[in-house]
């Protein structure tokens, strides 16, 4: 498993996701690729759900990471 991660923020805290970045991507390339993959799902599926996006990300090498949301810092 990769030791680099990307936070996918959301206004609704329950929808926040963390994914691992594959080793063969720079952080900049990972940001571009994830943005494109999310746009593909949102463009192709008018009634998309978070699960559709995470499945598409996982199909393209970005693994969903299990986490617990802690308290706010400020």
* pLDDT at residue 66 in the model: 96
21-to-8, 51, 52, 68, 71 alpha-carbon distances in Å: 12, 18, 18, 19, 25
The confidence band for 22, taking pLDDT boundaries of 50, 70 and 90, is: very high
3-class secondary structure, 22 = coil
For the segment 60-74, the average pLDDT, to the nearest whole number, is 93
The confidence band for 72, taking pLDDT boundaries of 50, 70 and 90, is: confident
Alpha helices in 1-74 (DSSP H): 27-44, 50-59
The pTM of the whole model exceeds 0.85: yes
The confidence band for 74, taking pLDDT boundaries of 50, 70 and 90, is: confident
For the segment 4-22, the average pLDDT, to the nearest whole number, is 95
Instruction: Please give the DSSP secondary-structure letter assigned to residue 46.
Output: T
């Amino acid at each position: 498993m990769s030791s680099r991660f990307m936070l996918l923020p959301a206004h609704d805290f329950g929808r926040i996701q963390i994914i691992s970045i594959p080793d063969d991507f720079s952080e900049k390339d990972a940001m571009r690729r994830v943005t494109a993959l999310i746009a593909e799902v949102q463009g192709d599926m008018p009634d998309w759900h978070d699960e559709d996006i995470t499945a598409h990300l996982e199909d393209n090498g970005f693994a969903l990471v299990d986490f617990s949301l802690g308290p706010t810092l400020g």
